Amino acid sequence: MKKYLLSIAALLLGLLAHSQEADDLGNYAEVSIIPRLDLNPSWTSNPKTSGFDLGNSSLYTLFEGSASEHFSWTVANHWFAAGNWFTPEMDAWEMFKGLGYSDTTNWIDFLKADLTFGSWTFTLGKDCITTGGHEYEEWDWEVHPLMASPIWNDLAPYQWGGKVAWTTPSEMSVFSLQMTTSPFGEHPFSSGLWTYSFQWSGAYGWFSPMWSVSAFGIDKGQYNWLISLGNQILLEDWTFTLDWSNTSGIDEEYTSFMPGHTFHGRIDYAPSDRWDVSLRGNYIYSNSTGYLDTPMRAYNIGAAFEFYPLRDSQDLRLHAVAHYDAFSSAFSLSFGVLYNLRLKLW
């Protein structure tokens, strides 16, 4: 498999050289520095477990650009996570120590190159596994983890590999095949575990599907199948999203998916580029005991308000979130600010 990926890399480099000779259009590069600060108080029925944390407070950078209309790149780095620094059981340097591991996230999210020729796009590098529904369309720094699904919170989705995507002539449908290292292998490549994914995404006027099926290697010759059906309906200022997957999350030992179902729903109202409001929730059914003694049915629900105070720009975001988790009987609030400082290099 490693030889296969090296062959793809050699092919991409050859195509890149050809594309640079043929066309210098679309030459640009931009760096974004993205700090986020969250303040999250929470309350439970037990005063001892109520508390305060910094939520998704973090620091990211994003380096994007293209050398021609055929070649582009994306590099996204996660430099700081408040949870690692201010949670006693966490290691402040975990993201940097995890660089050589595939079963955890680390400071490199994306490190990928895309080559596009007509309807075909070839991707090589570290990329997000093409699984999940519309939930994975947002950048990590934009997400409110309190209202994300168990898969989004538990899976290490950034893996090394390659992808081939074909866009139909109408540009309404995209079909992709991807092979990456498996998040259930301890080390990329040397573990010998791989993930194979097929995804269909579309934009058909008011309806946008994002369906995928993935085979995750969990041991030599053994795979867990993850099916995700994302469906989105757009009606003027309203967006209705429902993602379903055939799992209730990952087991406590991080060795496989737990059988069950997860429904991730979202209703967004965005009458203006300056603000939007949304209702979001998850319903989880597990028919595996996992770390519980009995099958589980749980849900959480919340609302988010986002405001962009800069005129003609969404680089600065103020947000407020209210969230209730029925499983832990916890009510949480989150107040935060996100800023995207863009620096154009050329």
pLDDT digits (tens, 9 = 90+) for 148-191: 999 999 999 999 999 999 999 999 999 999 999 999 999 999 99
pLDDT of residue 1: 47
pLDDT tens string 119-144: 999 999 999 999 878 999 999 999 99
* Residue 156 neighbours by CB under 8 Å, 6+ apart: 102, 103, 104, 105, 183
The reported pLDDT for the residue numbered 52 is: 85
pLDDT exceeds cutoff 50 at 231: yes
Question: Lowest mean pLDDT: which of 15-19, 100-104, 205-209?
Answer: 15-19
- Average pLDDT across the chain, whole number: 89
pLDDT recorded at residue 329: 86
Do 104 and 78 contact (CB within 8 A), yes or no?
A: no
Least confidently predicted of 24-28, 134-138, 238-242: 24-28
pTM here is: 0.88
Q: What is the pLDDT of residue 287?
A: 77
Separation of alpha carbons 60 and 107, rounded Å: 9
The predicted structure's pLDDT at residue 112: 98
Domain formed by 2-344, architecture:
Beta Barrel (2.40)
* Domain locations in the chain as residue ranges: 2-344
